[in-house]
Amino acid sequence: MRSRRSLAAVVGLVAASALTLAGCASEEPAASGDATPSADASGATDEFPLTIEHALGETTIEAAPERVATWGWGSTEAAIAAGVFPVAVAEQTWTVGEGNLLPWVEEAYDEAGVEHPTVLTDAEAGATVPYEEFAAAEPDVIIATYSGITQEQYDLLSEIAPTVAYPDGPWQTSWEDTITTTSAALGRSDAGEEVLAGVDDYFAGLADEHPEFEGQTIAAIWDSPELDAVYVYNSSDARAGFLERLGFTTAPAVDELDTTNGEAFTYTLSYEELDKLESDVVVNYSQTEELAAESVKRPELQALPAVKAGKLAQLAGTIPVSSVGPPTALSYDYPDGVPALVNELAAVLSE
């Protein structure tokens, strides 16, 4: 099974052959005018020009991008895993705070010796777009395959550089499609397929190690006492979907109770209706360890059949939760994410 260290080593090797390195990485984000190009054309395996169709139109990319900007979630990691280090990436305020890089992203840049990218301001979870910051980064392409950009935002970004949006709906791209579409936009489809093969091998290995997961029904939630409800992640969302790779089956009740008819990745279920969410196991995601501890004690959650039976697994903390929500090309084996949750699930099922 692949370790974090082996992944970083692969990234470093790809970077050494495909990138013009900037020497030692700076501790501060690189100034946009001086940022190192993301890649040279030698790493591309697909023919250009190429056209990517998506929900907001179609985008033609004339040549292998050398300066890549990413927006939303997952495209940064997908680009890096394919051998391209973006010069500008979206801020992840909820996870790591203003102006910081996700730990698995920072590790990849540092181990490859690439300057840190410009961190694009995103104080409103994608509701607003910093067009001036995008323009200052001078990208050849903007990749927003898992994002919530609107048609208007897409049109404005496309005036800065060719922009690739999500294939279907906002915030509904599977993490596998994020990897595939991002690598295709970079002309590195073969690299994307290799990344996905590594992901498949990793999860197959975990499933083999834990045959007790096979056939167990599962539901993934976020407890929200301020709403007297829980958020339930439906089967289209990666926070629930990746659990199926481990051998679990999404509980039928998860989609049967979905009040959005599958048009959103999550829905609220009031505490009064929790008894309807039948499953063998429940995974609860929490922002902090303290909130997770409170959830265990919350009498309302005892209405969940799995919780009442003592089959509650938890993953707490913004970084661990983000590493699986959804998983990315670099975070799917982050030690405090999937591996920690697998251990928790194994412990719960052994009781």
Backbone φ and ψ of 9, nearest 5°:
-65, -40
Q: What is the mean pLDDT of the chain?
A: 88
Return the closest-CA partner of residue 36 out of 82, 90, 85, 71: 85
Predicted TM-score (pTM) of this structure: 0.85
In whole angstroms, give the CA distance from residue 38 to residue 347.
43
How sure is the predictor about 32, in pLDDT bands with cuts at 50, 70 and 90?
very low
| Exposure letters 119-143 (e unless 16+ CB within 10 A, then b) | bbbbeeebeebbeebbebbbbbbbb
Q: Is 245 helix (H, G, I), strand (E, B) or coil?
A: helix
Write the class of the CATH domain 4-200: alpha beta
Domain residue spans in the chain?
A: 4-200, 210-350
For residues 37 and 65, is the Cβ–Cβ distance under 8 A? no
- Tell me: the pLDDT tens digits for 191-237? 999 999 999 999 999 999 999 999 999 999 999 999 999 999 988 88
Cα 210 to Cα 196: distance, rounded to the nearest angstrom: 21
pLDDT band at 86; cut points 50, 70, 90: very high
CB–CB of 301/272 below 8 Å? no
Decide whether 4-200 matches 210-350 in CATH topology. Answer: yes
**307 in Cβ contact with 276 (< 8 Å):** no
Question: How far is Cα 303 from Cα 297, in angstroms, rounded to an integer?
Answer: 12
pLDDT at 323: 96
CA neighbor of 334 nearest in space, from 76, 8, 101: 8
CATH architecture assignment, domain 210-350 = 3-Layer(aba) Sandwich (3.40)
Kindly state the average pLDDT of the residues 331-344. 97
Which two tokens mark 215?
A: 């056939």
**What is the structure's pLDDT at 263?**
76
Kindly report, residue by residue over 37-76, the tens digit of the pLDDT: 555 455 899 999 999 999 999 999 999 999 999 999 999 9
Task: Count CA atoms closer than 13 A to 284's CA, side-chain side.
Answer: 28
Exposed e or buried b per residue across 94-111, where buried means at least 16 C-beta atoms within 10 angstroms of its C-beta: ebbeeebbbbbbebbbbb
With residue 314 as reference, give the H or E element that holds it.
Answer: strand 312-316
User: Model confidence at 238, in pLDDT bands (50, 70, 90)?
Assistant: confident
- Quick: pLDDT tens for 99-124: 999 999 999 999 999 999 999 999 88
Question: Which tens digit of pLDDT belongs to each residue from 135-192?
Answer: 999 999 999 999 999 999 999 999 999 999 999 988 888 899 999 999 999 999 999 9
